[in-house]
Amino acid sequence: MYKILKYAFYDLIRSKWSYVYFAFYLLISGSLLFLTGDISKVIISLMNIVLVLVPLIASIFGVMYYYNSREFTELLLAQPIRRSNIFLGQYFGLSVSLSSSLFLGIGIPFLFFGIFRSAEIWNFFILILTGVLLTFIFSALAFLVALQNENKLKGFGFMLFIWLFLAIIYDGLFLLSLIVFKDYPLESLSISMSMFNPIDLSRVLILLKLDISALMGYTGAVFRKFFGNDNGLILSSLVLLMWVIIPVAFIARVSKRKDF
Amino acid sequence: MKNVIEIQQLVKSFGKTRVLEGIDLNFEASRISVVLGPNGSGKTTMIKSVLGMVIPNSGSIKVLGTDIQGQWDYRKNISYLPQIANFPPNLTALELVNMLADLRGGNQHTRELIERFGLGPFMRIRLSNLSGGTRQKVNILLAFMSDAPVIILDEPTNGLDPVALIRLKSLIAQKKSEGRSFLITTHIMQLVEELADEIVFLLEGKIYFKGTVSELKETFNENNIEKAIARILLTNNVA
């Protein structure tokens, strides 16, 4: 698996899209830092960008990469390696290269702004961590969707719908359910609902760390009340990790039975 | 003679379409076998089953005597040239060669092949910047660089210029004389006439004919292989 990962990473990190993605974060975080000069505010602004953009880019790149490398994958399938190693290698190659663009693009401006001498270092770390986790989660979902759909258009459409659903529609439904059931205790419902959405969960994770009650919203507040800050942090990171592990396990399983 | 590939009662369907309907076929060692058939006859599915890319519904396939079901290690004995030469765009040809060598292990004979196909100046260029013909030469290099006893070529002449084609044919002849076995699919009848020790003609998932080029011509009473094939297709209403 490592050999495939290595070459997939070499290939992807040299693609112009990796540079564009890197440059985008460099520009945004650089200019935000330059304009406001307040690291803590910039982290919150970046959070809003990362929560929407990282899943979208990982979804698009994941589906595109799988379909574009179909013929090469066939060549790899004819080599003496396990099937699951091919797909896991490609998946990790993609996730690691996307994460590197994100990490370097945000990291370099913060480094110049003296993040290591700042009290915000852990908040910054959590921002990067959620960004990386979201990259791994949505690339895995994208790979899984592409593996199960031969038709490119269908695969693309379905993955974009998943993104749209988790990034936007879910919140609306969430809110609606809170209004409809407002006469009942809603703590456990809202906690479990946010567990099923990695984007919501990441938001809760960052806001718990930043400890900004005003931005937390209902779920964040319930989360803090239920688990306290530290336990809430640990729990939400663990659930996010499960969001990586389960789709990756499915990639390995689906790839074993598929005809190419 | 020893069989390198033994296929027994191979059945494969995709959804409701039955692509292979119980094929029994042996490929002997040190021979060039050409698999022919119209589009959709099951050529590619059969080859992909041997490579383990397609999982058969029933039947068995043995490569060099080992049953391949659920195995992957046997693929070190097979070299494969895919029909479409589409490689990671941002790697160089040299990196790609190293990658495959890394995955396969064992001895790799790259230098001689790079010289034979004049690939030297292209090895350090990104694959996305190479022309289709050059990419096909890289594809050939990948298929021939290992010591695998069985070589499967899917449309090997795609996009090759006449010089490269002549070099490819002499390369195939040379490897055959070294005792390698070939399984080739092609639409170029001239290649079949020149190279094939044996022809397998597939039609609608069944073996319609198996024998030498001269046997094919005799059976269908034609002195030209193209006409013989056309006759098969016309009498079966597939063309």
Q: pLDDT tens digits, residue range A203-239?
A: 888 887 877 766 666 777 777 777 777 787 888 889 9
B100–chain A Cβ distance below 8 A for any pair = yes
Q: What is the span of the domain harbouring residue B206? A: 3-235
Based on the structure, what is the number of domains in chain B?
1
Q: With CB atoms and an 8 Å threshold, state whether B75 touches A78.
A: yes
Domain-by-domain residue ranges, chain A?
A: 2-257
Per DSSP, the three-state class of B62 is strand
Tokens 């990756």 correspond to A248
Distance between CA atoms of B98 and B114, rounded to whole angstroms? 13
Give the amino acid at B83.
Answer: Q
- Residue A170's alpha-carbon distances to A60, B77, B93, B155, in angstroms, are 20, 51, 46, 49
Distance between CA atoms of B199 and B212, rounded to whole angstroms? 6
Q: With CB atoms and an 8 Å threshold, state whether B48 touches A79.
A: no
Mutation test of the interface with chain A: which of B53, B135, B144, choosing the one with the most A Cβ atoms within 10 A?
Answer: B53
Contact B125, B157 (CB under 8 A): no
Lowest mean pLDDT among A65-69, A216-220, B101-105, B127-131: A216-220
Whether B196 shows a pLDDT value over 60: the answer reads: yes
Q: With CB atoms and an 8 Å threshold, state whether A70 touches B86.
A: yes
Whether A130 shows a pLDDT value over 90: the answer reads: yes
Tokens 């806001």 correspond to A207
Residue A136: pLDDT band by 50, 70, 90 thresholds?
Answer: very high
Residue A120: pLDDT band by 50, 70, 90 thresholds?
Answer: confident
Q: With CB atoms and an 8 Å threshold, state whether B72 touches A72.
A: no
Contact A89, A8 (CB under 8 A): yes
Q: Which two tokens stand for residue B82?
A: 């895919």
Per DSSP, the three-state class of B205 is coil
What letter would DSSP give residue B73?
G
B72 → closest Cβ in A8, A11, A81: A81
Distance between CA atoms of A137 and B23, rounded to whole angstroms? 43
CATH of the domain at B74: 3.40.50.300
Highest-scoring range by mean pLDDT, A217-231, A241-255, B6-20, B222-236: A241-255
Distance between CA atoms of B145 and A41, rounded to whole angstroms? 57
Distance between CA atoms of B183 and A217, rounded to whole angstroms? 65
Min distance B115 CA to chain A CA atoms (Å): 23
Q: How many whole angstroms from its chain centre is CA B52?
A: 14
Give the amino acid at A7.
Answer: Y
Q: How many CB atoms lie within 10 A of CB A49?
A: 16
Q: What is the pLDDT of residue B187?
A: 86
Whether B239 shows a pLDDT value over 60: the answer reads: no
A259 → closest Cβ in B55, B87, B152: B55
Q: What is the pLDDT of residue A2?
A: 84
Sign of the torsion formed by the C-alpha atoms of B34, B185, B175 and B228:
positive
Q: With CB atoms and an 8 Å threshold, state whether A77 touches B53.
A: yes
Residue A63: pLDDT band by 50, 70, 90 thresholds?
Answer: very high
Distance between CA atoms of A252 and A244, rounded to whole angstroms? 13
- Among candidates A61, A55, A86, which has minimal Cα distance to A203? A55
From chain B, the residues in CB contact with A10 under 8 A are: 90-91, 95
Q: What is the pLDDT of residue A215?
A: 67
Q: With CB atoms and an 8 Å threshold, state whether A11 touches B88.
A: yes
- Among candidates A107, A132, A147, A127, which has minimal Cα distance to A256? A147
Q: Which residue of B has its CA nearest to A1?
A: B103
From chain B, the residues in CB contact with A12 under 8 A are: 90
Whether B233 shows a pLDDT value over 90: the answer reads: no
What letter would DSSP give residue B196?
-
Residues B159-177, mean pLDDT to the nearest whole number = 91
Q: Which residue of B has its CA nearest to A15?
A: B90
Min distance A257 CA to chain B CA atoms (Å): 7
How many helices (H) and strands (E) are present in chain B, helices listed first? 8, 10
What letter would DSSP give residue A151?
S
From chain B, the residues in CB contact with A4 under 8 A are: 103
Residue A178: pLDDT band by 50, 70, 90 thresholds?
Answer: confident
